[in-house]
Structure 1
């Protein structure tokens, strides 16, 4: 049973959550993506104060490692590692895609044992600009059927998976996939409120119980593709 600070700055909405035993005690959200770096440190201080805990009481810090925004991922990882170094506590990392898949599963009320005519899979998507997304496919136990990666969408994407499975598409990248997918009978689009660091809280608690720590010295964001910048001469 751990008291864990959970941090997510991977996408347009940043959030932090202090959770005990996987249950959220207090959560804060920032919807201004350009302000994640300036928001996160003061927000953590306020969050801990409102939750009634001192920083020294934390037993671990968890962070979404990516994929997501390059800048956002660096902000979250640097913050989490800095706190772990200062407090001498372990670092926990989790895939942003798995957190989205978990949040979607919980929101639509699907259980791992719910019967369907076809197996149900969850396909989270994060917008990677143009027609590209970061995506993966998970079963209802949140095991990766297709590992995370960058994928350029076209009309034939996921044809094989849709043939014999009911696929639930979610995340901000699924918006541009929906018109290409058409009205496939096995495709379901979840357009809910998304996820927060509170959803990371349960997954990080599972890793805490199993003592699955990230290497504090070498942990880095999972970008899933190279970063390219346009430099003016």
Structure 2
């Protein structure tokens, strides 16, 4: 019976959850932009107290590995690694988009395809496609959305789009087989539930070498200096 603390800081919203024996014991969420560094550890402490659990009772830490916000992912992974080092626990990584897809999959029936999307700015999103059996149809990749996006999947299947990247695509993807679900965000709950499955399979990360799944290189914009 594993007890897993899961963390998601992949977007501006953040969450932590405690999963025991494959069931959700407790979870806490916040949705305040640029607050991971100030709120994450506070939320972990509150979660442990509210569930009557000590850090020493944990068997593993599960982290949402990305894609997502560069800064958010760094903060979450750093916190997860710190706990793993201090408590000598294994680290489990879960794809953020897969966890989002699992969130819809858990409560849906007879769905052809699930397409979670994370906003990557302008008309680009990070996306993947899962089928009704939760098998991967399209691996995680950046997609520039236009009228031709997902035409192959939409030709013969009903596709449900969701996530903060889906809203801006709704006016562009007008295919009759496309539907959109709002209010679906990355959550540590699904990260933990999928993490529990990985724990049973012994699918752990190398804590020393593990890095977030950024998908794209981080670009730092520098201000131009005028010549005198």
TM-score range, shorter chain: over 0.9
Match for residue 152 of structure 2 among 160, 177, 183: 160
**How far, CA to CA, are the matches of 2:185 and 2:38 in structure 1?**
23
| Superposed CA offset, 1:153-180 (max 9, x none) | 1111111111011111111100111100
Matches within 5 A, 1:46-85: 46-85=46-85
Considering fraction of residues, name the structure with more helix: 1
| Superposed CA offset, 1:52-104 (max 9, x none) | 01101100000000001110000110000110011001000000000010101
Q: Normalising by the residue count of structure 1, what TM-score does the alignment of the two structures yield?
A: 0.93
Q: Alpha-carbon deviation of 1:201?
A: 1.9
Match for residue 201 of structure 1 among 192, 200, 203: 192
Match for residue 216 of structure 1 among 181, 187, 207: 207
Contact 1:14-1:33 within 8 A present in 2 as well: no
The number of residues matched between the two structures is: 224
Contact 1:2-1:205 within 8 A present in 2 as well: yes
- Name the counterpart of 1:231: 222
Classify the secondary structure of the residue corresponding to 2:83.
Answer: helix
Deviates more, 1:34-43 or 1:186-195: 186-195
Q: Alpha-carbon deviation of 1:142?
A: 2.3
Q: Alpha-carbon deviation of 1:143?
A: 2.1
Q: Alpha-carbon deviation of 1:213?
A: 0.3
Q: Does 1:125 align with 2:117?
A: yes
- Name the counterpart of 1:171: 163
**Which sections of structure 2, spanning at least 5 residues, go unmatched?**
none
**How far, CA to CA, are the matches of 1:195 and 1:148 in structure 2?**
15
How much is the aligned-residue C-alpha RMSD, in angstroms? 1.2
Match for residue 135 of structure 1 among 101, 108, 127: 127
Classify the secondary structure of the residue corresponding to 1:181.
Answer: coil
Q: Alpha-carbon deviation of 1:218?
A: 0.9
Contact 1:12-1:32 within 8 A present in 2 as well: yes
Q: Alpha-carbon deviation of 1:202?
A: 1.3
Q: Does 1:191 align with 2:182?
A: yes
Q: Alpha-carbon deviation of 1:50?
A: 1.1
**How far, CA to CA, are the matches of 2:215 and 2:93 in structure 1?**
15
Matches within 5 A, 1:100-119: 100-107=100-107, 109-110=108-109, 114=110
**How far, CA to CA, are the matches of 2:215 and 2:150 in structure 1?**
19
Contact 2:105-2:134 within 8 A present in 1 as well: no
Call closer, same or farther: CA 1:195–1:65 in 2, change over 3 Å: closer
Runs of 4+ residues deviating >3 angstroms: 192-195
Call closer, same or farther: CA 1:142–1:59 in 2, change over 3 Å: same
Q: Alpha-carbon deviation of 1:193?
A: 4.2
